[in-house]
Structure 1
């Protein structure tokens, strides 16, 4: 299951821990959407990557696309509100994000979805998290990335305007908020460059997928 990870030269530590959230930087995208980005929020991220890669019960899925059933190009795991997360630092991250955004979000983050991008052939297509309340309400999705950086792209959902690119890995955090899930789309494109493995952990409030 594990793919070889080229460790970060800037994250050489034997302890997995979170930093403060006060260094978050917000970018206003337009149409009520915004993103907050905090590079290197988690130190010891390579250690966490190795544990998640080997211990999480990853599943491969197949989905119908047009007239064919195809493999989903990444591995998946999901932890609902009643299921213990696979590492204590993830519960700490979820709770810290809930406290930080309490005034804006008004509710806690409760679920965690994990995606394992094994190499540059794994990807996720353009989409917004619009299953559930994200289709008609402002909400937030917070993504913590461990492993090798991969680009996250965002673009306006109805065309026009410029796209936004953020490379995420080695403990980086991005939070998509406001109307972002309705008015913007995001993706992790395939890469023809040598791309190491990456795991993303997506924290969401109740009823958002």
Structure 2
């Protein structure tokens, strides 16, 4: 089975994440997409980041009715900080019959050469890349990194996908909730209910 790994803090998971995940599961050769919830780095306490189990719970309820999407807490069990190469090695050992690929935004592709064991990742796993709406700061950085990205994008294991992308972020949603704005259409109904019932992001 071909599994795409879509890593994120999912704080909270929103419709933009789900559109990407569903596109990859339906319009590529992947059989399933696992949304891998990134655990909080114990050395970096961030007030805005919810506990791991809350973020995992939101992903679980967001995808529970889709057989092609699965919430994964695999990195909760691994040493911190989490390195993608370590996670891939662990999954390959645990699920030898599965073929694991990565799903990432074009912004991550531009910095892939800085990742631990990036050559090993690039040569042994397919990477599905989706476009991202960029901030002004990112646009400036892009000009400096275009050559690196172009080189990586030409790699035989990199597949650039024309996935639909929404210019919405978890940080925008958190700020909107804090400012008492209505975000119901940016989250699935179960996730919106969970966030509302738990009074998350209001402070």
Q: TM-score, normalised by structure 1?
A: 0.28
Going by fraction, where is strand more abundant, 1 or 2?
1
Pick 1 or 2: higher relative contact order, CA cutoff 8 A, min separation 6.
1
Q: TM-score, normalised by structure 2?
A: 0.29
